């Protein structure tokens, strides 16, 4: 499938003959750099319909045939966005990272439409603040978030760290020796440590939800939620 022009009907959807089965949702991704392209391709793998938009012809050609539709267009122009039917999509991701002015302008155009749920990448703290002040529904700061995550991985026994909200986190870590060999309800982990052990994976097994009677053993990995300081302290228990 060749890249579609902004004024071409196939810019909105793949032709009937080439369409996939009905998708769960439709998402437009504006800006197909490393972040935007990876996000768009993952959405496709998850069954979404994805319209990719970028000003770089080489980028568009590289993703040709991998997305539902991919278009070379200037998304800072409101008329172009309407021609592409972006105002009809469920969600729109602004993945522009190299041009803050373009990112802000595209976000402001999208907000005029009212319907799409808008996600936007921010490359600096001021950029994130401006997007938030505009009213963008979800502001993503991948560099900042990766830095925070890496700091937690470096410091202790945490194998993975996800910030759920300010001050609250989900971590993956080995089962601390202090909570092994006894049922979780007998240990009263939530009261004593202010965290919840929500899942466990035995060596060679799959992740399974924990129950009150779950017993943890050496070499188990667990998922733990709670206040960030509490989950980190829990992972460091002897």
pLDDT grade, residue 107 (50/70/90)? Answer: very high
Neighbours of 221 (CB within 10 A): 18
Helix, strand, coil share (%) of the chain residues, nearest 5: 40, 25, 35
- For residue 3, is pLDDT > 80? no
36 CB burial (10 A radius; 0-12, 13-18, 19+): buried
pLDDT of residue 145: 78
pLDDT of residue 24: 59
Record the pTM: 0.68
> Furthest-apart CA pair in the chain: how many Å?
66
pLDDT of residue 180: 96
pLDDT of residue 13: 38
Cα separation, 2 vs 103, whole angstroms: 26
Q: Averaged over 1-18, what is the pLDDT? A: 39
pLDDT of residue 231: 93
pLDDT of residue 6: 54
pLDDT of residue 16: 29
CA angle in degrees (0–180, nearest 5) for 120-125-129 = 65
- Mean pLDDT score of the chain: 87
H or E element that contains 58: helix 57-62
pLDDT grade, residue 23 (50/70/90)? Answer: very low
pLDDT digits (tens, 9 = 90+) for 59-88: 999 999 999 999 999 999 999 999 999 999
Cβ 213 vs Cβ 183: under 8 Å: yes
pLDDT of residue 2: 42
More confident residue, 22 or 98: 98
pLDDT digits (tens, 9 = 90+) for 116-163: 899 999 998 899 999 999 999 999 888 877 887 787 777 778 899 988
Q: Averaged over 188-217, what is the pLDDT? A: 95
Give the up-direction half-sphere exposure of residue 108: CA atoms within 13 A in the CB hemisphere. Answer: 11
pLDDT digits (tens, 9 = 90+) for 160-194: 998 887 789 999 999 999 999 999 999 999 999 99
């Amino acid at each position: 499938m060749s890249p579609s022009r902004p004024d071409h009907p196939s810019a909105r959807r793949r032709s009937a003959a080439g369409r996939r089965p009905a998708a769960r949702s439709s998402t437009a991704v504006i800006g197909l750099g490393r972040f935007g392209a990876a996000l768009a391709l993952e959405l496709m793998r998850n069954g979404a319909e994805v319209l990719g938009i970028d000003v770089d012809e080489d980028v568009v050609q590289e993703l040709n045939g991998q997305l539902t539709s991919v278009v070379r267009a200037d998304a800072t122009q409101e008329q172009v966005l309407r021609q592409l039917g972006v105002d009809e999509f469920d969600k729109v991701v602004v993945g522009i990272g190299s041009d803050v002015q373009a990112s802000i302008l595209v976000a402001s155009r999208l907000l005029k439409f009212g319907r799409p749920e808008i996600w936007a990448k921010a490359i600096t703290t001021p950029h994130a603040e401006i997007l938030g002040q505009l009213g963008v529904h979800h502001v993503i700061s991948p560099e900042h978030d990766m830095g925070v995550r890496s700091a937690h991985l470096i410091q202790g026994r945490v194998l993975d760290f996800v910030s759920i909200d300010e001050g609250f986190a989900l971590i993956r870590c080995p089962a601390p020796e202090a909570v092994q060999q006894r049922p979780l309800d007998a240990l009263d982990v939530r009261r004593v440590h202010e965290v919840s052990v929500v899942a466990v994976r035995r060596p060679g097994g799959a992740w399974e939800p924990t129950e009150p009677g779950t017993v943890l053993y050496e070499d188990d990995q667990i998922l733990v939620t709670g206040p960030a300081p509490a989950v980190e302290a829990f992972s460091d228990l002897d």
